[in-house]
Amino acid sequence: MSRRRVVRTLLKSDRMKSKPEAEDGVAAAAVDYGNRTIVLVGLMGAGKSSVGRRLAAALNLPFRDADTEIETASNMTIPDFFELHGEAAFREGERKVIARLLEEPRHVLATGGGAFMDPETRRLIAEKGCAIWLRADLDVIYKRCMKRNNRPLLKSGNPRETLQRLMNERYPVYAEADIIVDSGDGPHEIVVDKIISALATSASEGHLHENAGNE
């Protein structure tokens, strides 16, 4: 299927009733994606913002970044927020911001790496969104994170060890996402294409089921 056709199918998609396991490490789950905000989750450095921006452009949807929204609402950078108010206050703000964004019309939403760990946020995303985990291995994550010095959780201790610990804690929870897409070292466009085809696969499965019911 051409990319244009895939996108058109996806935009029209409504009921998803099966759980197909696709190729390329892409897994799609049974969720009604029609009209749902597409929520990117995953560890820092997985490419949520970069992929999210491109995915939104490809699907002709608005793009929102939860971290940016927190920075705008608090009028300070995330590192400053952590330093001034601490992580607990950040998590509370993050939960509220994401709950507000999920009330907005359908869009692509990039979340901070810790957001999906919050049970209430996970519940809201399951209710109103479609969670996509951008899964990446430690080398990819570490390399990307070392390019910038803006992650408060990596400021103390050994960053590689911290990332490994966060992966151990978080990957089992990220695995609850509706769709899992491997995010490697290559261009972000590859990941965007994988997401679009995983969503479209689910959409077409849903149509098949609907058609079957009408026969």
Q: Which stretch binds ligand S3P (CB under 6 A): 52-60, 107-115, 133-141, 200-208?
A: 107-115
Q: How far apart are CA 77 and CA 41, in angstroms?
A: 20
Q: Is 76 in the site for ligand S3P (CB under 6 A)?
A: no
- DSSP strand pairing (129-135 vs 37-41): parallel
Which of 16/51 has CB closer to ligand S3P? 51
Q: Name which of residues 21 to 50 contact ligand S3P (CB under 6 A).
A: 44, 48
Q: How far apart are CA 135 and CA 157, in angstroms?
A: 24
Of 173, 104, 103, the C-alpha closest to 135 is 173
Q: Is 129 in the site for ligand S3P (CB under 6 A)?
A: no
The three-class DSSP label of residue 61 is coil
- The least CB distance from residue 84 to ligand S3P, in Å, is 14
Q: Is 153 in the site for ligand S3P (CB under 6 A)?
A: yes
Which of 14/139 has CB closer to ligand S3P? 139
Token match 């002709």: residue? 60
Query: Residue from 26, 33, 47, 114 that binds ligand S3P (CB under 6 A)?
Result: 114
- The least CB distance from residue 24 to ligand S3P, in Å, is 23
Q: How far apart are CA 108 and CA 58, in angstroms?
A: 11
Q: Is 69 in the site for ligand S3P (CB under 6 A)?
A: no
Q: Is 98 in the site for ligand S3P (CB under 6 A)?
A: no
Q: Is 112 in the site for ligand S3P (CB under 6 A)?
A: yes
- The answer to whether the CB of 101 falls within 8 A of the CB of 128 is no
Query: Residue from 20, 34, 93, 152 that binds ligand S3P (CB under 6 A)?
Result: 152
The three-class DSSP label of residue 108 is strand
Q: Is 78 in the site for ligand S3P (CB under 6 A)?
A: yes
Residue 58: alpha-carbon gap to chain centroid: 16
Q: How far apart are CA 170 and CA 164, in angstroms?
A: 10
Which of 10/41 has CB closer to ligand S3P? 41
Of 41, 57, 55, the C-alpha closest to 190 is 55
Binding site for ligand S3P (CB under 6 A): 44, 48, 67, 78, 112-114, 151-153
